[in-house]
Structure 1
Amino acid sequence: MGETQFLSTKQGRRLAYHHTPGKGPTVVFLGGLKSDMEGTKAVFLEDWARKNGRAFLRFDYSGHGESSGAFTDGSIGDWAEDTAEAVGALTEGPLLPVGSSMGGWQALLLARAQPARVAGLVTIAAAPDFTEDGYWASFTDAQKRELEQEGHIELPSDYMEPYIITKRMIEDGRKQLVLRAPLDLPFPVRFLQGTADTAVSTSTAVKLLEHASGPDMHLRLVKDADHRFSDGPCLDLILQAIDEVDRAS
């Protein structure tokens, strides 16, 4: 697996990463909120990349995993900066982002900012605009008052310890929304979504499919797959999606 390397960014952050050299497009795994690069999908894809001579990058956003900073200090925009810094410093040529959950939003932000570099895109339970459409839209008046007065609130999670959601994350998220304006994805795109996902609904996946425009875009719904999307059959579907994007790009 190799030793963790670190990248110092112009924003003063220290990002932990693992880079596998090989042929392109470079597969870049973008993890979810409070996830890290040691997750099942990230390590599985790195092993696949090494066996197949593919360039691959996995890294921790600031406030995640081995990278510097506290999670509660971060925001969607900060992690978009981290992604741009990582791919800018550590990769060359075309990219194939694979974004999971919040990483799907990050993949869309990367594609919007650098469309010329993106050869194709794969998302897994993508959660675009979740700070607004998921968190803020579901907050009670009491929670909104608590957020305003205390600067944060605590939310339970079906998949890990409770999330601390900050006022800054909500406010910054509004600057990063991708479903309120045209979203052109001019390359092969595969969206993967489990029907048993309790964190991201199938309606979110359909909304993204209907909103985005592009010449080669498919949504695959997987019956009974949950948000982790990391059992054997699901991992095989991720590889199949990467292969489809590769061949189509």
Structure 2
Amino acid sequence: MPMIDRDGTPLAYEFTPGEAPAVVFLGGFKSDMQGTKALALEAWARARGQAFLRLDYSGHGQSGGTFEAGSIGAWYADALAVIAHEITQPCVLVGSSMGGWIALLIAREHPSRVAGLVTIAAAPDFTEDGYWASFDEAQRVALFEAGRVAVPSDYGEPYVITKHLIEEGRERLVLRSPLPLPVPTRFLQGTADADVPEAWAHRLLAHAEGPDIRLTLVKGADHRFSEPDQIALIERSVEEVLDRIAP
């Protein structure tokens, strides 16, 4: 598997050459590039001859580093490093959950790198509006005294949320300042998502600024958004964005 080094940490990725603009899949919190959506999109891109990139952030999947040492800024830098290594032209970012936040950060900070955007259950600012906002006083005290707190997860072992993750995340918030998205943008959200409330999708739609931004709600879809019809919707959304990119 290809690897690049970023500040001493090996980052794993898979790149499929093809036509530009490349489609880049950015996974979620503690997920990896072997997930259903990443692999399905890779197969879809290969079938149409589109360049495609998927990657593991540090502390995720086959990349080096530890999850607990990570932060939104570190994973954002990981994504930028891998993209820059393989892709020279503007690309279409497909961000799932936390990957949606990272995609929005890239679009805001490096607009010349982005030709289009699709998010799936995007979770911008989730360290602040999700974890920190939900912590009770005992958890907040534990976070600051021990530097970490374990939070139950529906996806396996508890997530260890660190003080560094919360504090560094406050430097990366995208819903507290202007968020220009001048490229074709599609937000996808399930109404039965127990991790990212539907209201977050509406807030993102209201906050983002751009001429071609749409939100699609799927009644009954959960956070995984990986059923066959939902995968097909992701593929159609990426195709629509590709078709609407100005030549």
TM-score (norm 2): 0.98
Partner residue of 2:185?
189
Q: CA deviation at 1:243?
A: 1.2
Q: CA deviation at 1:94?
A: 1.7
- Taking the TM superposition and a 5 Å limit, the aligned residue runs for 1:94-133 are 94-133=90-129
Secondary structure at 2:4 match in 1: strand
C-alpha offsets along residues 172-224 of structure 1, whole Å, 9 cap, x if unaligned?
A: 00000000000000011000000111000100000000000000000000000
Q: CA deviation at 1:7?
A: 0.8
Once residues 202 and 20 of structure 2 are traced to their aligned partners in structure 1, the CA distance between those partners, rounded to angstroms, is 30
- Structure 2 residue runs without a partner (length 5+): none
C-alpha offsets along residues 120-155 of structure 1, whole Å, 9 cap, x if unaligned?
A: 100000000000000101110110000001100000
Partner residue of 1:46?
42
Partner residue of 1:29?
25
C-alpha offsets along residues 30-61 of structure 1, whole Å, 9 cap, x if unaligned?
A: 00000000000001111111111110000100
Give, as a single letter, the amino acid of the residue that structure 2 aligns with 1:218: R
Partner residue of 2:62?
66
State the percentage of identical aligned residues.
58
Partner residue of 2:3?
6
Secondary structure at 1:218 match in 2: strand
Contact 1:197/1:225 (CA < 8 Å) preserved in 2? yes
- Structure 1 residue runs without a partner (length 5+): none
Aligned length: 245
2:243 matches 1:247: yes
Contact 1:158/1:198 (CA < 8 Å) preserved in 2? no
Q: CA deviation at 1:113?
A: 1.5
Once residues 55 and 94 of structure 2 are traced to their aligned partners in structure 1, the CA distance between those partners, rounded to angstroms, is 12
Give, as a single letter, the amino acid of the residue that structure 2 aligns with 1:134: G
Q: CA deviation at 1:157?
A: 1.5
Query: Which of these residues, 195, 217, 224, is aligned with residue 220 of structure 2?
Result: 224
Q: CA deviation at 1:159?
A: 2.7
Q: CA deviation at 1:86?
A: 0.7
Once residues 188 and 197 of structure 1 are traced to their aligned partners in structure 2, the CA distance between those partners, rounded to angstroms, is 24
Once residues 4 and 36 of structure 2 are traced to their aligned partners in structure 1, the CA distance between those partners, rounded to angstroms, is 23
Query: Which of these residues, 145, 153, 159, is aligned with residue 155 of structure 2?
Result: 159
